[in-house]
Every structure is written in structure tokens, then in C-alpha cells.
Chains A and B, each alone.
Chain A
Amino acid sequence: MLKATIVVKLKEGVDDPEGKTIKHSLNLLGFEPVVRVNVARHYEIFIDAPREEGEKMIEEMLRKLLINPVIHEYEVRVEEI
């Protein structure tokens, strides 16, 4: 069994309104030193396939659904569990 951990985040330079709102709220809660918050999406995908095949699938998943290359970048980690 494979476990793929995928983090999809906004590219540097793409405005992150959700992060800004959270940063503002943290400041209001008294965490004044917080200067920036980036919000990302974390997927854990479990795949019942050999590693090579699984990795290929993940590439396809990213391309077909999980990211929009105009605004997103991603990190992938695959482990056997």
C-alpha cells in the first residue's frame, strides 16, 4: 500500500486572501509578531498499487484535478505503508 502526501499551495506572488484573513485574526488575538500566513491544502491519498505505477497515477491526478498550474505549486511525498 502506498501513502502519498501532497501539499498544494499558491505560487509565490499569487495573492492569498485566506492567509491574509487568518493573519489578521491572529494579530487581533494578540499574536502581533505574526507577519504572514500561507494557506495550503494537504491531501493524503492511499493507493493500492506498486510504487512506480502509483507515482505515475499521482502525476496524472495532479494534472487532471488537484492543481491549476496558473496559481498552484505542489510537493509530493510517497511512502510504502
Chain B
Amino acid sequence: MKVAILQMEGTNCEEESYMAFKEIGAEPEYLHLNLLRPGMLEDYDMLFIPGGFSSGDYVRAGAIFAARLKAKAWNELRKFVEAEKPVMGVCNGFQVLIELGLLPGTDGISDVPEAALATNESNRFECRWVHLKKERDSIFSANVPDRIVLPVAHAEGRFIASPRVIEEMEAQRQVVFRYIAPDGSKPDYPWNPNGSINDIAAVVNSYGNVFGIMPHPERAFFWYQHPDWTRIPRNRGDGYYVFESLMRIIEAKNR
């Protein structure tokens, strides 16, 4: 499975993502937005938009990345999504997918954004490990345990949408992960780090192939990325299982 890791000025964690895809047996390639030419996207089986601070987070986080991507390859991107190829955005990448109208995608693809990832309720950059509860299986979460721990690092991650969109998302079970308190109860700050409605941390579109997640699975892929790696013996970071879920698709493709 060929994975395009999309880059532009200010993206980060593309190396972690590259290594994660390599580890699970995919063929990742970096693809800079400036080098994206007509017809290039269709060569790939999956599109990955990494985190970071694209274009300095000016205007709104992810807005410039989304506008430039839309201007360059909107029709191709639409086809990519309609062909039900996987698209995944982490952190800033999630913000880009929201701005593009690909998420939450209650009814496929929307021409205008249906949601926003607004400034955190705390008005601060929130950087810590959070607890997540898996709400459903998807191609991105099938192998993930019910409770995991991943790091967040963002200033704009408060998921907001109209009550109608939220209702539709919940009815279609589009929420993949929610923030949760360490004891399993409903999280207050800081366990819901940004004040997201319904503690939403990750969503998938109605087709099930576009996935956006605020915490960083690629920053918790190897166990040594976790602060307790010298104290607690384990083989994998929890982020590994997100990528492992994708491996199923790869194996199906190779068969």
C-alpha cells in the first residue's frame, strides 16, 4: 500500500509517521504540496496529513493548508475519498480535513466546513498524555484496545458543530475516540484538554474512510516514546494499534 505523507511549510511528525507506516509494511512517501501535480494522488492508496503548524497556524490552524490543497487538487481529492481510499489526519491534519469539509462528512463530502476545531477552552496550548475510550471499530481502530493513552499537543482542538451535525454524527456513530478521565468517568479539564463537545477526540466520516484524530498515534508508536518506558515493560505504544488496524487493509491489498 502506497501512502502519501503530505507536507507543507510547518508540518511536523512526518518522520514518526513515515517510520510507523514502514514498520507496518506500507510504502510511505513524502509528498510536498508544492510538488503535487495533477494526476499524482491517484497513484497512492492512502493519504496521510501530519500534524504541525502549517503556515504558522495563521488565519486558523489548518486553514491555509486546506485552501491550498483545495485549489490544487480538490477534484482529485474528492475522487480519492469517493473511491473509499483511506485518508487520515492527525492534529493539524485533522484541522485540515475539517476545513476541507471532508470531516465530519455526515453526508459524504461537504462544500463548506460543517464543524470547527476552535481555540481550546483553556486558551492555552495543551500538551500532555490523555486517556481515550474507543467508541467503535473502523479501518483505523479495529485493533485498538478499548482504552488507550496518547499525547495531545494543540492550541486549537475544541470540536464544535451545530446541534444538528452533532446529533447526526452521534446517530451515525461517527465518533471513534472520546476523551475520558483516568478512572473511566466523564472527563473534566484537563482530561478533556480542549473543551470539545461530547468529549470528541477522533471522528470518521459517514463512508468510514476519512479519519481525523487530535491526539498523536505516531508519537506513541514505539513503547520508548512513552515516559514510563523504563519503568513498565511493554512491547508497543498505544498508537501502534491505530497503524496495525490499517495493516489489515494492506494485507487484503497484497493478497
Chain A residues near B (Cβ < 8 Å): 14-18, 20-21, 63-66, 68-71
User: B interface vs A, CB < 8 Å?
Assistant: 59-60, 63-64, 67, 70-71, 99, 112-116, 118-123, 158, 160-162, 195
| Min CB–CB distance A48 → chain B (angstroms) | 21
Query: What are some 12 contacts across the A-B interface (CB < 8 A)?
Result: A14-B118, A15-B158, A17-B119, A21-B123, A64-B67, A64-B71, A65-B63, A65-B64, A66-B59, A68-B99, A69-B113, A70-B115
Which A residues lie within 8 Å of B116 (CB)?
68, 70-71
**Residues B60 and A20 in contact, CB atoms below 8 Å apart:** no
Given the known interface contacts A17-B123, A20-B123, the answer about A65 and B67 at a Cβ–Cβ threshold of 8 Å is yes
User: Known contacts being A14-B160, A70-B114, A70-B162, is A65 close to B123, with CB within 8 Å?
Assistant: no
Nearest-neighbor residue (CB-CB) of A16 within chain B:
B119
A69 touches B112 (CB 8 A): yes
Q: Say yes or no: A68 contacts B121, CB within 8 Å.
A: no
State the Cβ distance, A23 to closest chain B Cβ, in Å.
Answer: 11
Q: Which residue of B lies closest to A8 (CB)?
A: B59
Chain B residues, Cβ within 8 Å of A18? 119, 123
CB distance from A64 to the nearest CB of B (A): 5
Tell me how far the C-beta of B201 lies from the nearest C-beta in chain A, rounded to whole angstroms.
18
Chain B residue at minimal CB-CB distance from A20: B123
- Contact call A71/B160, Cβ cutoff below 8 A: yes
B113 touches A68 (CB 8 A): yes
Residue of A nearest to B162 (CB): A70
| Cβ contact within 8 Å between B161 and A17 | no
Query: Is the pair B99, A17 in contact by a Cβ cutoff of 8 Å?
Result: no
Contacts of B113 in A (CB 8 A): 68-70
Q: Once the chains bind, are B70 and A64 in contact (CB under 8 Å)?
A: yes
Smallest CB gap from B122: residue in A: A17
Q: B residues within 8 A CB of A21? A: 123
Residues of B within 8 A of A71 (CB): 116, 118, 160
* Cβ–Cβ < 8 Å partners of B161 in chain A: 70
A53 to B94 CA separation, bound complex (whole angstroms):
34
Complex contacts, B115 vs chain A, CB 8 Å: 70
- Give chain A residues whose Cβ lies under 8 Å from the Cβ of B63: 65, 68
- Residues in A neighbouring B112, C-beta threshold 8 A: 63, 69
Contact of B121 among A17, A63, A65, A70 (CB under 8 A): A17
Q: Which residues of A are found within 8 Å of B70, using beta-carbon distances? A: 64
A21 vs B122: C-alpha distance when bound (angstroms): 9
Q: CA separation between A49 and B28, bound complex, in Å?
A: 44
Residues of B within 8 A of A17 (CB): 119-123, 195
Interface centre among A14, A17, A18, A64, by most B CB within 10 Å?
Answer: A17
Shortest Cβ gap from B107 to chain A (Å): 15
B-side contacts of A70, CB under 8 Å: 113-116, 160-162
Set of chain B residues within 8 Å of A65, measured between Cβ atoms: 59, 63-64, 67
Q: How far does the alpha carbon of A18 sit from the alpha carbon of B120 in the complex, in Å?
A: 9
Closest CB of chain A to B240's CB: distance in Å? 33
Most buried by B among A15, A20, A65, A69: A65
